[in-house]
Every structure is written in C-alpha cells, then in structure tokens.
Chain A
Amino acid sequence: MKPSQILQAAAQAGVAGVLAVGNTASHACPYYAQLPNEASRSLPMIFITEPAVLAAAEYQTVASEKTRASDALTENFNSLVNQWRLETKHFSVIARRYENPAYKAILDMQAPAIPLILQELRRDPDRWFAALEKLTGENPAKDAINFYEAVDRWIAWGTAHEYIA
C-alpha cells in the first residue's frame, strides 16, 4: 500500500495521524498505528526507516499473519470436530461417521490438520485413524489389537515426527 493510500484510508477512518515503518521510496508502509481523534483532519505521517526496525516489523507482521491463519484454522477445526461428534458420536457403524460432511471437511484441510487431529486424539480419543492414514500416508497402528493401543501408537508416532510435543 502506498503512503498516499494509507493517508486516504486513515482520513476516511477519521484518525489523527499515522506512524509508519518504512519509507516512501519502497512503499513499505503497512505498519502504522492509528490515533483515534475524530475531530482532527490533519494527518501527519512519520516514517521510520531504521533497518533494524524495518526488519523487526517485517518479522512481526509475518509472524502475526501466521498466528492469525493458525488461529482461524484451529477454530475451524474445533468447530468441525464438535459438529462431527454431535451428529455421530452414538453411531455403531464407523463407516457412517466417515460420511459426515464435517469429517469430510476436516480431511479437506489436508496436511495442516495433522497436528490438530493428533492433539485431539490425545485430548479425547476418537476414530481418527483413517483420517491420519489418509493425510500422512503412514499407519503405525496397523497391527494394534484394539482402539486404545492404536491411539497410543499414533500419539507416539506424532511425537516422534514432531507434529505434537
């Protein structure tokens, strides 16, 4: 975003000023603090061009964007898990549980769902084995004698592969 665009947006939002990290030449100015003051229409813009500050701002922005994306993914996953459980937790036929739209949506999340599923498996064990096998291409529980042994093996696998701590 160009500084002029930032100033225009800030004016429309009714803020008093903009503190920008970056400079006009590079247009690297997305990092600013809004000072709410509806009465003011003068919008001074102070640029910080210190390389170390620029690098820190860049790092923080990338990190916070990643965190936001991760939070949204986790929230979506938890919502789908709740829906899946609510609708199928009493089913006597596992294959029917796998037909549930919420379960299919979890599979559609692909690899980012792996650590979330493993955490959920540890928190509240459930029939995640087929999903994990599909997403990882592995099956550490193939000769497990019962459900709980399969859970233990997947958690051990997830820990060994650093999907979960």
Chain B
Amino acid sequence: MKDRLGHDVESLYPQLNAAGYSVTSNKDKKYNCVAWAAERDQERWWEPLSEPGCYWPKQVPFDHSFENYVKVFEALGYSPCDNPSLEAGFEKIALYNSCGWFMHVSHQLEDGRWTSKLGPQEDIKHTTIGALESNGILPAYGMVTRIMKRKRQIWEQPNRNPTLLSRLLNFLRAPLKRLSLLRSGNVMSK
C-alpha cells in the first residue's frame, strides 16, 4: 500500500496536504464513499444507477438528489447535527455538496479523525473534514453542508490482507452471495 496519494489525486484537494492525511487502502473501484461510510461495504458502489455493482437502498427514491443521499443515512439511524466535533458515544458523517450535487461523505472515527473513500481511488484517514473541501474552482468535492450523527456502532474491521484460506472461502461463498443479492434485488440490472 502506498503512503501517499498520487500527485494527480492529491492536487485535487488543495488543503489536504497541509491538514494531514494517510492512505489506508489500495485503490478499489468496487465501492465508493457512501458504501464505506454506511456499512464499510467494500463490494458495492452505492449510487442510484442501473449499472453492474451498483446498489441503492430500496426505501430511498432512485435519483441523485442531495436529499436522497441524506435519506440513505437517515435510514441507517443518522439524524441532523450542527457540528463535526467528536462526541463520546456518537459517530458522525459529513456530506459534501457542490452546486447542489452530492459529492462525498466522510465518516468520523473514534479518535476524532475522519475516513474517506475517494471515489474509485484509495481510502484515506484525514484530520479534518475541511481537508477535502474546495472553493469550487477545482473539480473537487465542494463544501460540507450537512453533518449527521448516530450512536456509535461496533464496526467490523475490513480485512486488508486476506490469507490464502480466507480468499478460498470467499471464492467458495461467491455463488451463494450472488444468489442472495439477486433474490434481494440488490444487484442493479436493466
């Protein structure tokens, strides 16, 4: 795993370097920030789109409005909050908005830092939510316009270095998982 983002990606976030960050995963195009913040889901790309690997909760309207992204997190028990400060017993998320579009969501860790999956790029840990904000000139994430919180859940830590045995088990489980996803309608297809 690299220590730093590629210069081409890092330069998209003018405040990231100064604020401080570390890379916490390799690139993975299967999942996005919403999947990561919502459920540490590393298999699906959470977006209302009829494309392979995309997922969208059934109870949320199937369109890209910012408010529908808010509803995704409301469905997971989050409610509005007025500040990003660390609160004991709570976890927070910050939603970024550019020109009315949902752009990104960061999730607060127990130590007060934040974790973000940068689109199809790497996951990073960053010190502030402002680290990923931009003034709108660059094609980045815009500004945080919504903070939400819920009682902190116990997260299952994703396995970054699977053993040969766990890879084999995952391989054997794949057909069952596919069947399960198809039955639940979670695989989007036209």
Contacts of A90 in B (CB 8 A): 9, 12, 118-121, 140
Residue from A86, A129, A147 in contact with B30 in the complex, judged by beta carbons closer than 8 Å: A147
Q: Is A5 on the interface with B (CB-CB < 8 A)?
A: no
Contact flag A141-B52 (CB < 8 Å), given A90-B9, A146-B44: yes
Chain B contact surface mostly:
loop
Contact B47 A146 (CB under 8 A): no
Contact flag A95-B52 (CB < 8 Å), given A87-B139, A142-B189: no
Contact B102 A93 (CB under 8 A): yes
Q: Is B49 on the interface with A (CB-CB < 8 A)?
A: yes
Q: Is B160 on the interface with A (CB-CB < 8 A)?
A: no
Q: Is A143 on the interface with B (CB-CB < 8 A)?
A: yes
- A interface residues, how many (CB within 8 angstroms): 27
Contacts of B102 in A (CB 8 A): 92-93
CA–CA, A3 and B90, complex, Å: 86
**Would you list which residues of chain B between 26 and 53 have a CB under 8 Å from chain A?**
29-30, 32-34, 43-45, 47, 49, 51-53
Residue from B54, B101, B139, B190 in contact with A88 in the complex, judged by beta carbons closer than 8 Å: B139
Instruction: Give the Cβ gap from A75 to chain B, nearest Cβ, in Å.
Output: 21
Chain A contact surface mostly:
loop
- B interface residues, how many (CB within 8 angstroms): 38
Instruction: Give the Cβ gap from A36 to chain B, nearest Cβ, in Å.
Output: 44
Q: Is B168 on the interface with A (CB-CB < 8 A)?
A: no
Contacts of A92 in B (CB 8 A): 32-34, 47, 102-105, 117-119
Determine the residue in chain A with the shortest Cβ distance to B28.
A147
Report A's interface with B, CB cutoff 8 A. 86-96, 125-127, 129-130, 139, 141-150
A-B contact list, 30 entries, CB within 8 Å? A89-B8, A89-B119, A90-B9, A90-B140, A92-B32, A92-B102, A93-B103, A94-B47, A95-B49, A95-B64, A125-B29, A126-B29, A127-B29, A129-B52, A130-B51, A141-B52, A142-B52, A142-B189, A142-B190, A144-B52, A145-B52, A145-B53, A145-B187, A146-B53, A147-B30, A147-B45, A147-B52, A147-B53, A149-B52, A149-B53
Given contacts A89-B8, A90-B9, A143-B182, 11 further A-B contacts (CB under 8 A): A86-B8, A91-B119, A92-B32, A92-B47, A94-B47, A139-B190, A142-B190, A144-B53, A145-B43, A145-B181, A148-B29
- A-B CB proximity, top 4 nearest: A150-B52, A144-B52, A146-B53, A142-B189
